[in-house]
Amino acid sequence: MSVDDPADPRLVDYVDLSDTDLRKRVERERGFFIAESPLVVRRLLESGRRVRSVLVTPAQYDALSDVLAPLAAPVYVAADAVLRRVIGFDLHRGAVATAARWERPGAESLLAGTRRVAVLERVNDHENLGVLFRSAAALGVDAVLLDPECSDPLYRRCVRVSIGHVLRIPWTRIESLAVVRSAGLTTFALTPAPTARRIDEIVWPERAALLLGAEGPGLSSAWLAAADRHVRIPMQPGADSLNVATAAAVAFYAARAGAE
């Protein structure tokens, strides 16, 4: 369906995507999320998630025709200038979509059969969270658990930075580490503390959960106390810590390599 009016009411889901606070409120109230960029939109359409609509330029309509053709949801086609007026920025690269949020699974069922899990405490930067999901997908992490203070994995920036992997990697929220322990996973807390064991010296168990904290403060004292083991990434003198998304990638690789 061709659209040439930025005020067309059918495009209401896409209005003012750059207004962060407004978008968080509107999307949660209406129960949807935004996917942006051709690659992420493609992954959304291939994921089986319930799509509300797609908005693309003519060029992206042609590029995504194989996944758009069977779609039951409306597909709106508009010129670049119309998308710019509606959305407010150009990072979408000519393709955006809206999809329904889904009911989060229970942690117990999510953890059944997992071998490597990431458990996050207060990771509240959308870009860090997106990179972390992307690394999890690449490095064999089976699921991601988030505490109540972590950012929303379905906020558009996180979805984009993850290149759509938040739609593929199973995730849910937890209230405490008790559910992880009861599922039988050994918990490894990442910390720069010199008393922690080097991560490259660990003999990894069959099932392990990697605990990662917020940028700056790291894991809380409560989570550190509850962990079975403390591990650190060895670094050169003068470097005290890594960005949490970078540290996560290193840890995911170490845990995967240790299991092979």
pLDDT in tens, 46-56: 999 999 999 99
> What pLDDT was estimated at residue 19?
59
Q: Is pLDDT of 68 > 70?
A: yes
**pTM for the structure as a whole:** 0.91
Mean pLDDT across the chain: 91
Domain ranges of the chain: 9-100, 107-259
> What pLDDT was estimated at residue 1?
87
> What pLDDT was estimated at residue 258?
58
- The CATH number given to 9-100 is 3.30.1330.30
The Cβ of residue 109 has, within 10 Å, a number of other Cβ atoms equal to 10
To the nearest 10°, report the CA torsion of 129, 134, 137, 138. -140
Q: Is pLDDT of 25 > 60?
A: yes
Q: Closest by alpha carbon to 212, among 152, 162, 161, 147?
A: 147
Single-letter amino acid code for the residue at 173: R
Q: What is the mean pLDDT of residues 112-121?
A: 97
The string of pLDDT tens digits covering residues 210-248 is 999 998 889 999 999 999 999 999 988 877 778 999 999
- CATH domain 107-259 topology: Alpha/beta knot (3.40.1280)
Q: How confident is the model at residue 174 (pLDDT cuts 50, 70, 90)?
A: very high
